[in-house]
Amino acid sequence: MATTIKLKKPAPGSTEPRAPRAPVRGAGSAPRKRPTLSQAQAQRAEREARYQEQLRQRFGDKPRDDAPRKPRPTAPPPARPRQHPEPRAIEHAEVPGSMRLSKRMSELGIASRREADEWIAKGWVRVDDQVVSELGSRVVPGQRITVDAKAKFQQAQKGTVLLNKPIGYVSGQAEDGYEPAVVLVTPNNQWRDDRSGTRFLREHLRGLAPAGRLDIDSVGLLVLTQDGRIAKQLIGEDSETEKEYLVRVQTLDGQPLPDGQLALLNHGLELDGEALRPAQVEWVNDDQLRFVLKEGKKRQIRRMCEAVGLKVLGLKRVRIGKVMLGDLPVGAWRYLRGDESFV
């Protein structure tokens, strides 16, 4: 038989305690004081600054969502080769046998050292296919050195002039009232038989300098050039380029020159305490000697002749390297042809 449970209805006004409830958060604490207007603005500015800093740290210079964006391309851009930073200098200071890049270029005949430094500064020189643009960079033998087409073009524009210098002109700077030979390089003095095909330009006079000396009383072939490579070939410290002269002489005592004195002209003399390099000296006729030298000290031939009892009556340079004076008239000039070279 089912048991029935009867529930009693609580009597009105019952004082039966209720179950305890969790305290409300913040209840019982003093009410928080609202900030003033200036404090609220300062706090807002501080929060905005923190927010902007977080954006910069996360996205760098990328635009924010509310900044205008560039339209998204419809197709991805084509792939580009990876860009490698070009070195500003090549360091080989501690490597035995290393040398300055400009000196190496001069040794190889690419350019003069001054010209090489100009090209390096302009970024026109590459070493092993890498641009080198810092002066003082060093290389080691075996590295491949190439130059930009701009450098080759600039070099091709430089002129070299062959002048038959007359008596009364100095080779270099004006001195003692004598004019430099370069003043003769004018359109009117250009040889009519100049077959170089080069048209005279005033730019060819800029920086035109003598590559070797020929004193005031001497005549013959004088080279004036803008090309540092040619200057190095002719007057560099290691130059082996021959210079040939015809020298008219007479003995101081009127007697024939002894064979021993002729031998001294070939080898055995010294000037200013320094031994001269071997020369080739021989008689052409009774009063004319042929000199072939590989150096060019001041008034060298005249002083050599004085040392063995000879007086120089006339001196003419007729050849430098492979280039001959030929029929070039006294006081006239011509350009060095493209098919000519001194070495």
Residues acting as catalytic residues: 215
Q: What's the whole-number average pLDDT of the chain?
A: 83
Strands (DSSP E) found in the chain? 99-100, 125-127, 130-131, 138-139, 145-147, 160-165, 209-210, 219-225, 243-251, 270-271, 274-275, 280-285, 288-293, 310-320, 323-324, 333-335
pTM of the predicted structure, to 2 decimals: 0.65
Cα-only R_g, the chain = 45
What's the pLDDT at 81? 60
Tens-place pLDDT, residues 303-330: 999 999 999 999 999 999 999 999 999 9
What's the pLDDT at 203? 87
- Of 284 and 97, which is predicted with more confidence? 284
Give CA–CA dist 101/132, Å, rounded: 9
Tens-place pLDDT, residues 167-190: 999 998 877 889 999 999 999 999
Give CA–CA dist 37/34, Å, rounded: 9
Token pair in block for residue 231? 């200057």
CB 311 within 8 A of CB 252: yes
Which domains are seen in the chain, by residue range? 99-156 (3.10.290.10), 158-237+321-343 (3.30.70.580), 242-320 (3.30.70.1560)
- The stretch 122-131 carries a mean pLDDT of 91
CB atoms < 10 A from the CB of 160, how many? 23
Query: Is the model's pLDDT at 80 over the cut of 70?
Result: no
Q: pLDDT-derived band of residue 8, with 50, 70 and 90 as boundaries?
A: low
Q: Ranked by mean pLDDT, which of 44-48, 93-97, 107-111, 266-270 comes out on top?
A: 266-270
> H helices of 12-96, where?
37-59
- Of 91 and 242, which is predicted with more confidence? 242
